[in-house]
Structure 1
Amino acid sequence: MSRIIKFAKAGGPEVLEFIETPVPAPGPHEVRIRVKAIGINRAESMWRNDEYVGRVTFPAGLGYEAAGIVDAVGEAVANVAVGDVVSTIPAFSFYQYYTYGEVVLVPDHAVVKHPATLSFVEAASIWMMFITAYGALIVDAQVKPGDFVIIPAASSSVGLAAIQIANHAGAIPIALTRTSVKKQRLHEAGAPHVIATREQDMVAEVMRITNGDGARIAFDPVGGNDFPKLVSALANLGTIYIYGALNEGATPLPVLEMILKMPTVKGYSLRRVMGDGAHRAEAVNYVVKGLASGALKPVIDRIFTFDEMVDVHRYLESGDQFGKIVVTV
């Protein structure tokens, strides 16, 4: 027997339940992992609240990221073997698989042997943050040296990954944060420019930084009423990637300014790079090389234990973190 976490109705962190269940046998192309660490993502809070992409089917599991040791493999699994130290990439649906558990099943295409230099905690933190930013900035936007990239919610794990990836490409990140509290830490994390949006005129600051040209790219997980300001801060023909909805209100479009600047507004999800094997392999290779070179580094905010998962979700929703929340099992 082992414990997993599920929820039988939508709601706050208190709906999460620990359930004793028989250890499952892996089916064809499935890998069973004895979990050592779990990476926590905002998507899991949205799924728990039934506010994610697609409606929840109850009872439901959660979790995209885990690191641990393979203790069984199904028929036709060739990429890993029993005893391998592995982690999971976010390349599956919550309808089918989850990682909040002591022992979990995942599809073999979502299992990788992470670099031996990483601890279980670090390995559980890297894939969602780096692959999300990589797919938008490198694969789709093809950022190049000298490009300005606006990064709202910059102290989130994906925001910090976007700073690192923009720097690695020779681009110039402009980190956005609500107040000055995290400004120094964002500078230390690699952002040459940091704007506290509640204390400064974001558009004026971006225009000052870019000598009046505006930024070529904005990588936005927020949306909401401030979205028109991102359009104002863009260069002509710039692009905004919107990949989250941290602001739950409506997201207005400034139609006249969009006619003037002719920006592209693109919805973005991990399907951009997780949708086929070749793209997945390229994404993993990019992250592994970046970690090896030191250009990419996991940023861990706080470590909890598996028994504290309800408190983990409360902390996740506080928005106080700087980097990745990880749970040890």
Structure 2
Amino acid sequence: MSRVIEFSSTGGPEVLEFKEVEVPAPGPGEVRIRVKALGLNRAESMWRTGEYIEEVKLPARLGYEAAGFVEAIGEGVTGFVVGEAVNTVPAFSQNQYGMYGELVLAPISAVVKHPPGLSFEEAASIWMMFITVYGAFIEAADLKAGDVVLIPAASSSVGLASIQLVNMVGATPIALTRTAAKRQQLLDAGAAFVIVTEEQDLVAEVMRITDGVGARVVFDPVGGPSLGKLVKAMKTGGILLAYGALSEEPAQFSYLDLLIKLPTILGYTIWNTSGDPVRQKAAVEFITAGLAAGALKPMIDRTFAFDEMVEAHRYLETNNQFGKIVVSV
């Protein structure tokens, strides 16, 4: 028997319920994992509220990122042994699997080796953020040394991972943040420049920093009215990757600016990379090498206990964190 977390109706964190269930033996292509830590993601709170890109089927499980030990192996699974430390990456539907539990089943297509030298809490924090930015910058944007990158919501886990990876390839990360409260933290985290959008003119600052050229890459999880400013701040022929919709307001930009800037605007999700075995393997190898070299590092804001999952989700929705929220199991 194992405690897992489910919800029977969509809503706030209070809909999350602990259930005692029997976790079956893994089927073909599955492993059963004794979970030691979980990484929390905005995608999971959107899933819980019924506002995710996929329709939730109730009652529902949730959770993408877990770190723990293999407890049992299903038919056809190779490359892993019972007792081995492993992690899960976001490469499945939460309608099929959910990692919020003490003992869980996971598809082998979403299981990777535990990176050497990391704690379970650290390992549970890295895959969503680093695979997301790998796919965006290395695959989609073909980021090169010397490029300038705009990073809205830079204090999020994906924002901080963006700063690290941009620095890793020799490009220049410009972090955007609404208030000055996190400015020094962002500089300490590796941002070359920080623009406080409630106090500074975003477009003017980017043009000042880039000598009037603009940023070649924009990685935006917000949308809304600020999208037009991001387009104005771009280099002609640059690329804007939209990977979220944190703003509830409609995106706004000038069609004339499209004709002036000639940008490529793409919708982007982690599934582009994690859902393809070949691309996922390349991403994992790139990230593992970056971790080993110290260029990529876990960024944990706060750790909660498993019993505190409702409180952890409440904290997730405050948007006050600087980095990843992790739960110890």
For residue 82 of structure 2, what is the aligned residue in structure 1? 82
The alpha carbon displacement at 1:76 in A equals 0.6
Question: Which amino acid in structure 2 is aligned with residue 209 of structure 1?
Answer: I
SS in 2 for 1:149: strand
For residue 267 of structure 2, what is the aligned residue in structure 1? 267
Question: Which amino acid in structure 2 is aligned with residue 16 of structure 1?
Answer: L
Give the Cα separation in 1 of the matches to 2:268 and 2:253: 17
Assess if the C-alpha contact under 8 Å between 2:165 and 2:296 holds in 1. yes
Question: Which amino acid in structure 1 is aligned with residue 9 of structure 2?
Answer: K
The alpha carbon displacement at 1:23 in A equals 2.3
The alpha carbon displacement at 1:69 in A equals 0.6
Assess if the C-alpha contact under 8 Å between 2:239 and 2:264 holds in 1. yes
Aligned pairs for 1:222-233 within 5 A: 222-233=222-233
For residue 251 of structure 1, what is the aligned residue in structure 2? 251
Assess if the C-alpha contact under 8 Å between 1:92 and 1:110 holds in 2. yes
SS in 2 for 1:226: helix
Assess if the C-alpha contact under 8 Å between 2:225 and 2:253 holds in 1. no
Assess if the C-alpha contact under 8 Å between 1:79 and 1:108 holds in 2. no
The alpha carbon displacement at 1:249 in A equals 1.7
Matched, 1:115 2:115: yes
Give the Cα separation in 2 of the matches to 1:221 and 1:79: 36
Q: Where do 4+ consecutive residues of structure 1 move more than 4 Å?
A: none
For residue 141 of structure 1, what is the aligned residue in structure 2? 141
Matched, 1:101 2:101: yes
Assess if the C-alpha contact under 8 Å between 1:32 and 1:106 holds in 2. yes
Give the Cα separation in 2 of the matches to 1:144 and 1:135: 14
Give the Cα separation in 2 of the matches to 1:299 and 1:275: 25
For residue 317 of structure 1, what is the aligned residue in structure 2? 317
Q: TM-score, normalised by structure 2?
A: 0.99
Could you list the runs of 5+ residues in structure 2 that have no partner in the other structure?
none
Question: Which amino acid in structure 2 is aligned with residue 245 of structure 1?
Answer: A
Aligned pairs for 1:1-329 within 5 A: 1-329=1-329
How many pairs are equivalent? 329
Give the Cα separation in 2 of the matches to 1:278 and 1:226: 35
Give the Cα separation in 1 of the matches to 2:76 and 2:95: 23
Assess if the C-alpha contact under 8 Å between 1:133 and 1:162 holds in 2. yes
Assess if the C-alpha contact under 8 Å between 2:151 and 2:220 holds in 1. yes
Give the Cα separation in 2 of the matches to 1:23 and 1:106: 11
Give the Cα separation in 1 of the matches to 2:13 and 2:55: 18
Question: Which amino acid in structure 2 is aligned with residue 225 of structure 1?
Answer: P
Assess if the C-alpha contact under 8 Å between 1:62 and 1:94 holds in 2. yes
Q: TM-score, normalised by structure 1?
A: 0.99
Q: Deviations over 1:171-228 (max 9, x none)?
A: 0000001111001010010001001111111111101000001000000011111110
Q: Deviations over 1:143-167 (max 9, x none)?
A: 1111000000000000000000000
Give the Cα separation in 2 of the matches to 1:101 and 1:187: 36
The alpha carbon displacement at 1:79 in A equals 2.1
Question: Which amino acid in structure 2 is aligned with residue 58 of structure 1?
Answer: L
Q: Deviations over 1:4-26 (max 9, x none)?
A: 11111111000111111012211
The alpha carbon displacement at 1:250 in A equals 1.2
Assess if the C-alpha contact under 8 Å between 1:203 and 1:233 holds in 2. yes
Assess if the C-alpha contact under 8 Å between 2:173 and 2:193 holds in 1. yes
